[in-house]
Each structure stands twice: as C-alpha cells, then as structure tokens.
Structure 1
C-alpha cells in the first residue's frame, strides 16, 4: 500500500518490503528482527554456506536469543534468504546494506571494498524508486560519495535515494538493541527518504523511541563519535589503573568514587584488560585516520593514546603473570580463562584474552585456553595454543590462572574448588570480576590491574565495601 503525501512528494510505501544485504552479525540480526516486527524481509549474501545455514534455521555465530528469534521469523513466513542480487533489486522497497568495514591491511583506514561492491551490485540492478540505507560504520563522506555512485550505475537514476541509519548494537544484547533501541538516527537527503525510513521503523517509533533526523555526514559521525567516547572512558579508568599501580592506590575504589559523580557516571568506568572486538579498535583508528585526511587530525589525536593505553593493559596483564611466577613464564602452565573479546559472544576479533594468551605462549608458557562459546573460533585463529573442554580441565595442574573474559561461569567459580585442581594458588584477575578478599582469605596469591599486590587490612575490606558504595 502507498500513501500520497502532498503533490510534490513521491508515494511512501507504508509497509515496505525489505532486503538486508550482508548477513554477518549486523545483517543477520537486523533481518531477523525486522521480520519479527512484521515486515517481509529478504536477506542476501554472496556466501552461499551462510545463506544455507540461516535458511535452515541455524545462526552461524553465537548471540543469546537470536537462534530462537530466527526460528520464529522463519516460521512466520516473513523471512527468507538468497544469494540473488537481481531478486533483491526487483523485490525490495527499502534496502539495508550491512556489510563489513574491516581495517585496511597496512593502514588504520577503513577498507570500503565490500561496501562499495555491495552498493554497486545492488544499485546496478534497481529499475524503480527505492531507498538504499547504509548501516555500516564508515568514514565521514562515504554516504555522499556513494550517492553519486549508485545514481550513476542504477537504471533508476535519481529515483534511487540513499540514507544512513547507523547501528548501535551491543554483542550479547543485539536482539534487544534492535527491537528496542535507545535511539534511532536517520541521515537523509529528502523528506521522502525520511518518511520512507520512518515507515520502515514504524513499530519502533510507535514505542516512543527517540529519533534524530540529520544530514548524511552527521549520521555517519554519530557512530564513530559514540564508539570513540566509549573507548575513551574505558581507557581513562585504565590509565588511572596505571597510576594506581605506581602509587599503591586501588583503582576499583577510585572508579566507585568517580561513578557517584553524576557528571561522570559509573557505566563503563570499569578497569581491566580493556576493549576489543570488531568495532571499537578499528573504528577509533579509522576515525583518527579520516580526521587526518580532513585536516583536523589534532582534534582527535587523543584517540591514538586511547588505543595505546588499551594495548598496554594487555602487556601489563602478561607482566602480572610473570610477577606471580617469579619473573619468567618459561615452562609455566597457565590456564587462560576466556577467548572471546567479551562474555555472551563467540567473537574473537582483536580479543584481549587471546592476545594475552598468545604473548604468554611466545614467552615460553604452556597456555591452555577455555571459553564457553568461542573455542572453535579460537582454535582456527590460534592453533598453537592448547585448549580444554571445561573450566576444570583448563585449571588442572595450572601454575597460574588468568581470568581474561568475565563469563559468569568464571565469576561463579569457587576458590576452594579451584584450589583442589591447580598446582599453585595463583590468579590474575584481568577483568576485576572476582572477590579478591575471598580468594586471598582462601590462600590464593591474587593480582589485578590497578590494585595493590599486598593490600593493607583496609584494602582487603574494600571488596565488601564496594557493594555498599555502589548502592549508597
């Protein structure tokens, strides 16, 4: 059904048929969730094995709740998958493009090869008015360039419009963040594009979700600016951890005190091993690179120090293991708990946990890795490491245990039970996820980034006080 809105505007398709080009983490999640919202959706990818898996009801990566959502969407008849760009071009009214923008080899710049190819392949086949919507994280100016590109290659010419709708998904919460986002951002070039995009998100907007309507450049900037701010906040408290280590202060108590300041807040003011994954590291590097190209590199020069602080936390974690071992890890049996860059994910891209495990291995340690979900991905990328099938198997006869990803299974581990399995009661908490006082009381040598190696009685009581302070 279409509705004419004024004599000067093209018709709006009130219940648009959607395509989602690229069925990786972002694309598969978006396609599934838009079908759950009641739209007819076609997911398209050049990877036929990925398409076959999704069409058969199997999500090719781990994301809580997404497998059930896929089954529901397929059963509704509103979701299907294909490798045919021509079918997508003919069928869809609104096309969401969700392809990856990895870091370029030998450069901090974003690699836009897949973005350019996806837009070109689809646009060259579109013969009628339609809306292309970019969701990938791209350098500022990409959408304007792509607008000229797609209109030049499409038989529809200027009838084919382009908009940008950045995503703000958190791995582990992707279904919730797609169905109930904290905001929507529309980067558009016409009233028609704004209203057509609003029709595509009507169920979400009807919930009262805040909407920011902007130009293309601002919409592109929102995502990289948000990621840069988040990365900066994480690295700030980790910079303070470095100061704490030099002074004997306790970074956890410092973070708690800072978090009570309403101007700062406690969210993501969490010290530890730092950030990784497929977004923050590459996005802040690409942002700084693009700013240099635009002649405003000084404005975001601090992002390079943010990146440096983040990398130093990995090296410092290795140092803590070495200190517990008396100075050398050669021949040391290390249980590395965690491989994914964060819990509730199997994503190992730029994973701090595996980076630490790799560095320990290269220093001569015998490293055994265990992760509840990321084992197969880790084995493919780091075949030189040893792998265990369970937490108990990983820590058996370990000289040092290193908690590197804060899975709940590791948080809940009982220090007495672990003590029965390890060779020595030594643990490095890279994520500030454990009760330090409890472990120390049960005979463990306990180290954590930014916390005293030999705390006073007052510091030993800090863990108990932190819970009270957090809710004061």
Structure 2
C-alpha cells in the first residue's frame, strides 16, 4: 500500500482521497481552506455527495485518512494527486490554471531531492492540452515524474465512479524509464480496481488531457442535440421523448444523454467545453471546434425557452404572479449550484416581475449563502402554496414522486412546467393540471 497525497479537497479531491483510503492506502488530503480541512478531518463532507460521509467517517476512524493545510506534511508521499479546480477565466473562455500552478509550485518546493524511488505526481484536474508537458519540466527539476490521470466523475455518483470506474487512463511521459515507473506506481495505486478487469488505457500526455475534454464535449453535444430537437418538436407537435426512445435504439447513437430539458450546468461541463474551444483557438485549430459554440448556444437557449413556455402557458401576466421553482442544484443528488439552469431560470422569471419561491432538498443553504437576493424556502409545500405555476427544474426523486392531486389543492392555478421531462404527464393531466414539457406539447 502507498502513502498518497491528494492536493485540493473539493468535489474531486475529497472523493478521491476517501476512495483511495477505502482501497487500503494511507492518504493525506491537503487544502488551503482550513475550515474545509476541519470538516473533513471530523469525517464530514462540506458538500452533499451520496455515500461520501460514510467513507470519510470509516477511513478517518481507521487512521488511513488524514487532512492538512501544510505542504510539508505531504512531502514524503509516494504519489501526489493534483485535484484542484480549473474554473473559467473571469476575462475569457479559457481555463484558469492559477490553482494548478500554485499547487504545483508549492508541492515542488517541498519534494525531497534524493529518493531511492522518484515520487510520482499524478494530475487529475481538467486542464487544457499542453499543461502536463509544461508541469513535467517543473517536477523533473525536483527529481519527480509526472503522469496525467484524468477523472470521469459524475456528481451524485462520484464515489461509485471512483471505486468502480468504466476506464482508467494514464498519460505517461515520453522517456521510457519514467513511463515505466509512472505506470508501475499507478498500477499499485489502482491494483484492486485493475484486478476487477476495469479497462486501463495508456497514452501520452496530450491524449490523456484530450480524453477528458473531448468526452465532455461529446456529452454536451448529445444533450444540446436532443434539446434542439425538443424545440423542433414544439413547433411541429411531435413528442421528443418518443423521438429520443426511437433514435436511442440505434446502437450507433445510444440512449444515454438523450433526455430533453433545460440543459446542462454545473462546475464542469459548461466551462470545460468553453476552455476546450479556447485552447483549440490558441493552437490554431479553432475552426474544428466551432460547432461547440452552437452546442453551448443551444444549451443557453433552453433556459430562456423554459421562461417562454411559462409565459405562453400562464393565463395571466408574469408580473405579479407567484411561481414555485422546484430545484436549485444543477442536477439531483448534489448541492452544487454552479451554473445551475434552475437558478438561472428563476432569476429570469423574477426579472420579469414574478415572485419566485425556490426550494431544493439539499441546496437551499448554498443558495441563501451565494444568492441572498433569491427567495428560498425549505419545503415543497412552502414553495407551491398559492402558486400560479410550478416549475420542476431539477429532477429530484422527491419531485418525480409528487402526488398531483395533493399538490393541486395547494396551488392557485394548476400549471406545471416540467423542465426536465421527469413527470408522468398523463397522471398530472388526469389530475386536472395543464402539463407543459420540453418538446412534449
């Protein structure tokens, strides 16, 4: 078993640290946010991720998992994972690499220069292609070897995706001796997973970096494609759910990511495809990814489309109306509100003069903290009481299972905008509701 450090304890890093400890390694998680470190050291995740608290509690109690804010505490680790965030630049579409560079510089400064076996630095952050080659030179001066080991986590399924991934990718150095060492150390880290015959793919740095960004771009393209079809279905009277089911049976296309709705959000997909475009332009290959600008535009368009459907369907002006918004997180099983379509739509509706009440099973505290201007309530009952319309904008199980007859007794007007096409429309219509889905008119 290895001594592992994980630098950056956000969604990616905290989950990775806990899962590496679960695999039997001794792990030290590092973050500059001391409040976050204190929470994690007490066995509590500072965000909602199913199954993570149990992993933290078990491995902290067993002594396999510790947390620190001091780089000197991780200096002797065999493998260092860099898992810090790469947000979108405030001044453009590219990725902001300040945190990656700061973490790399701080780590390089404490690495011991002479070890019998060189330490391995494994990048997990989503970065523009070319970043690994640059960082390899920095760590090479300290006698360390760099690999790139991209993550493929879905929020809400991050623990499962780490402990049972559908593939493991190694981006290895050109120098054969370094590549052999990096692969050996990563094989030891992931030994239990590799014993389960999870596919392992070895590649060069650039390919490993592109695996993550191109996968995100492809998923975003599928989502925006079916959302574009949803608007066409609205215009023609077709039904997008039946359309998606029919084309999804084609094994060249597949059924996943063909659910129409208000589009994707979160802290990864939107900023990653924009950074992908920006990096392609820097490399002189921008025209090859021009289609992704349309993908991004369709995604943004869906949010306004939900507002338009509300305006078209409401039997009164939006100004002065009361609208219940069910959902604030960008997806269910998460409290992440970064680039949330639900909150974006809520803001647009409020700007048009409506009173908007927002609720969510997990994200209300984040909304109150980050968007104090938003009217947030704790329960569905508080949100829908006397509402002129209900908008379901995050497909939480609690919302999918709502009883339309019971809910109908509390609202002023039985209009539901199903922004995720997650409700059983026949059940709601039978209960007297005007049901409006995305591409299901």
Q: 2:356 is paired with a residue of what secondary structure? A: strand
**Considering only aligned residues, what root-mean-square deviation do their CA atoms show, in Å?**
0.9
Task: Tell me the CA shift for residue 438 of structure 1.
Answer: 1.5
| CA deviations over 1:4-59 (Å, ceiling 9, x no partner) | xxxxxxxxxxx321000011110000000100100000111111111111111111
| Distance in 1, Cα, partners of 2:22 & 2:374 | 41
Matches within 5 A, 1:267-346: 267-326=256-315, 328-346=317-335
| CA deviations over 1:61-94 (Å, ceiling 9, x no partner) | 00001001111111111111111101211x2010
Q: Residue 139 of structure 2 aligns with which residue?
A: 150
Q: Residue 381 of structure 2 aligns with which residue?
A: 392
Q: 2:242 aligns with which of 250, 253, 268?
A: 253
Is 1:75 the counterpart of 2:64 in the alignment? Answer: no
Contact 1:123 1:151 in 2 (8 A): no
Stretch of structure 1 that moved more, 242-251 or 210-219: 242-251
| Distance in 1, Cα, partners of 2:24 & 2:439 | 49
Is 1:123 the counterpart of 2:112 in the alignment? Answer: no
Q: 1:224 aligns with which of 190, 199, 213?
A: 213
Task: Tell me the CA shift for residue 149 of structure 1.
Answer: 2.3
Q: 1:107 aligns with which of 92, 109, 113?
A: 92
- What's the TM-score once normalised by structure 1's chain length? 0.90
Contact 2:230 2:240 in 1 (8 A): yes
Q: Residue 85 of structure 1 aligns with which residue?
A: 71
Matches within 5 A, 1:173-252: 173-189=157-173, 190-252=179-241
Q: 1:386 is paired with a residue of what secondary structure? A: coil
Task: Tell me the CA shift for residue 327 of structure 1.
Answer: 6.5
| Distance in 2, Cα, partners of 1:94 & 1:106 | 34
Q: 1:301 is paired with a residue of what secondary structure? A: helix
Task: Tell me the CA shift for residue 148 of structure 1.
Answer: 1.4
Contact 2:367 2:376 in 1 (8 A): no
Contact 2:122 2:147 in 1 (8 A): yes
Task: Tell me the CA shift for residue 326 of structure 1.
Answer: 3.8
Task: Tell me the CA shift for residue 276 of structure 1.
Answer: 0.4
Task: Tell me the CA shift for residue 448 of structure 1.
Answer: 1.1
Q: Residue 16 of structure 1 aligns with which residue?
A: 2
| Distance in 1, Cα, partners of 2:63 & 2:411 | 52
| Distance in 2, Cα, partners of 1:239 & 1:176 | 31
Contact 1:134 1:164 in 2 (8 A): yes
Task: Tell me the CA shift for residue 106 of structure 1.
Answer: 2.1
Q: 1:387 is paired with a residue of what secondary structure? A: coil
Q: Residue 176 of structure 2 aligns with which residue?
A: none
| Distance in 2, Cα, partners of 1:150 & 1:193 | 13
Q: 2:260 is paired with a residue of what secondary structure? A: coil
Ranges in structure 1 where 5+ consecutive residues have no aligned partner: 1-14, 453-472
Contact 1:124 1:150 in 2 (8 A): no
Task: Tell me the CA shift for residue 195 of structure 1.
Answer: 1.0
Q: 1:63 is paired with a residue of what secondary structure? A: coil
Task: Tell me the CA shift for residue 201 of structure 1.
Answer: 1.0
Q: 1:98 aligns with which of 83, 101, 110?
A: 83
Judging changes above 3 Å, is the alpha-carbon distance between structure 1 residues 286 and 218 closer, same or farther for their aligned structure 2 residues?
same
Q: Residue 137 of structure 1 aligns with which residue?
A: 126
How many aligned positions are there? 432
Matches within 5 A, 1:396-407: 396-407=385-396
Judging changes above 3 Å, is the alpha-carbon distance between structure 1 residues 327 and 290 closer, same or farther for their aligned structure 2 residues?
farther
Task: Tell me the CA shift for residue 328 of structure 1.
Answer: 3.0
| Distance in 2, Cα, partners of 1:321 & 1:380 | 28
Q: Residue 383 of structure 1 aligns with which residue?
A: 372
Stretch of structure 1 that moved more, 282-291 or 240-249: 240-249
| Distance in 2, Cα, partners of 1:186 & 1:193 | 9
- What's the TM-score once normalised by structure 2's chain length? 0.97
Ranges in structure 2 where 5+ consecutive residues have no aligned partner: 174-178
Q: 2:110 is paired with a residue of what secondary structure? A: coil
